[in-house]
Amino acid sequence: MMSNNKEDSGQPKMRHIVRVGNTDILGEKQVGYGLTKIKGIGVPLASAICNSLGLDKTTKMGLLSEDEVKQLDSAVRNPAQAGIPSYLLNNQKDYESGEDSHVIGPDIKLHVEQIKKRHMRVRSYKGFRYPKRLPVRGQRTKSNFRRNKGKATGVRKKKARAAMEEKKK
């Protein structure tokens, strides 16, 4: 009698959702691109994580064993300990600790806010431009970064001007 269980036939059971780095990833995604669903991880870092762990990038996430998922999770949380080069990390030479680290998930938003507040507290060039909603990295402002996009500016109509003058009286 044949059983319908895939584990008996030698193939691992396919999981539909795999949880890595506090993010649910669909099981049908390839490992290399499934990791990019985690905020803070792009294709180059995902590829480097797969290479450092010896995983095939084209393997489906749902077919990974529990051990491989745990290794993947620890590598995503601490890529520097997994042997990932520091130039792929998004928090190099941290201001407080001076170490290289990688920030993922909702922590990215908090980290960016801390950086902005520090710039404003120190009163740097960037710190003055953040509250004014101006670009901080040297972009041009003549034609971009306008707050009044779509609104008409310029000369008022004569009737509107006359109505304004009557209201003032």
CATH class name, domain 17-85? mainly alpha
Burial of 152 (0-12, 13-18, 19+ CB in 10 A): exposed
Alpha helix (H) residue ranges in the chain: 31-34, 43-53, 66-77, 107-122, 125-129, 158-168
Assess whether pLDDT exceeds 50 at residue 5: no
Assess whether pLDDT exceeds 90 at residue 95: no
pLDDT at 9: 58
Burial of 136 (0-12, 13-18, 19+ CB in 10 A): middle
pLDDT at 155: 62
pLDDT at 76: 93
pLDDT tens-digit readout, 33-79: 999 999 999 999 999 999 999 999 999 999 999 999 999 999 999 99
pLDDT tens-digit readout, 137-157: 888 888 877 776 666 555 667
Contact predicate 103/90, CB 8 Å:
yes
| Pairing relationship of beta strands 17-20 and 23-26 according to DSSP bridges | antiparallel
Q: What is the mean pLDDT of residues 85-110?
A: 90
Rounded CA separation 35/60 (Å): 11
Is the pTM of the predicted complex or chain greater than 0.85? no
